[in-house]
Amino acid sequence: MAVPKPTTMVLRRRTRAPKRYSEDEDGWGCDDVYCERCGSGDFGSKLLLCDKCDKGYHLFCLRPILVSVPKGYWFCPSCTNIKQPQLFPLVQTKIVDFFRIRRSSESMENQSNIKKRKRTCSLAVSKRKRKLLAYNPTEYPQRRLEQMASLATALKASGTEYSDGLTYRPGMALRSANCAALEKGGMQILPKEDIETLNLCKKMMEKGECPPLMVVFDPVEGFTVQADRYIKDLTIITEYVGDVDYLKNRENDDGDSMMTLLHASNPSKSLVICPDKRSNIARFVNGINNFSPDGRKKQNVKCVRYDVNGECRVLLIANRDIRKGERLYYDYNGYEHEYPTEHFV
């Protein structure tokens, strides 16, 4: 006679199941739990229960994948009836206000000088090999509005305020805590020429000359970023930004987008970037599957931490030429190798 396999039992709703199965007060198991997508009750610690219908889903079977159990209530796709995100209005004044674009009487002159600036940059680069390049914004103002509207759509859908720099909030780390000299083993210094290139990218964004990128919603990967024109190797894509906090304050945080800013010799001084409240397009660049050869082949962006005038900064940089329409991916585990990417598509 076949012995039935043990089933996963969960006593609490919407939490990580601490054991493969458990028992109630009478010594008998309670509600059987299995994944509605794959039908398996394995990986109990990865099963998530809907707070409305009590059905279970593996974190890695959901689309988009969840990397950790969210705080608060969670409702499954059937109960939330997920639809495409509401598009941000393609209205210039609304986009200007959302991104706090500087209105300048010189804007028309700046538009006419885009090609000139691009030509100057390429000539300079030919004389100094392996230096970082400023991105080339799309020439057409209407297309740039569409690019910015796509980012605004993603930010609004995720409840995130736009910011293009690191932010220091009350109750979190002070700016004085961001000291590159504290980096364990030292941090590479960004050369003066590359700092100028980074500052050029920042100024272009302030004027509405955004990187040539579109944020699109994929039912499998969620929001993701794709190139809207050809991007050359070593081009600065964007800076990874958000609120700066001590790692010790975020060890139990369920945020799936935190980025190491400072890996200090003294762990109590280590810092992370938290983009859940304030961020830019960097938050929506997806990661590769480190456990798959095909996943590694998708990488076209690298994440690099630099010492910029004594402070730590994180840049996303093209690590090869990127074709128009190609989605952007980088390695989430560039430093600590602790991010769970084995189920990434």
Q: How confident is the model at residue 254 (pLDDT cuts 50, 70, 90)?
A: low
pLDDT digits (tens, 9 = 90+) for 133-150: 999 999 999 999 999 999
Q: What is the mean pLDDT of the chain?
A: 80
CATH 3.30.40.10 fits 33-82, yes or no: yes
Q: Quick one: pLDDT at residue 127?
A: 43
Q: Quick one: pLDDT at residue 18?
A: 34
Closest CA to 229 of 301, 324, 146: 324
Structure tokens at 185: 């083993």
Q: What is the CATH number of domain 92-98+131-160+182-240+281-330?
A: 2.170.270.10
Burial of 26: CB neighbours in 10 Å, binned 0-12, 13-18, 19+: exposed
Q: Which of 25-29, 62-66, 288-292 has the lowest mean pLDDT?
A: 25-29
Q: Quick one: pLDDT at residue 248?
A: 93
Q: pTM for the complete prediction?
A: 0.74
Q: CA 33 to CA 45: how far, in whole Å?
A: 12
* C-alpha separations of 232 from 33, 122, 192, 263, 293 in Å: 49, 11, 21, 30, 24
Q: How confident is the model at residue 63 (pLDDT cuts 50, 70, 90)?
A: confident
pLDDT digits (tens, 9 = 90+) for 204-233: 999 999 999 999 998 777 899 999 999 999
Domain residue ranges of the chain, discontinuous segments joined by +: 33-82, 92-98+131-160+182-240+281-330
Q: Do domains 33-82 and 92-98+131-160+182-240+281-330 have the same CATH topology?
A: no
Q: Is 229 within 8 Å of 212 (Cβ atoms)?
A: yes
Q: How confident is the model at residue 265 (pLDDT cuts 50, 70, 90)?
A: very high
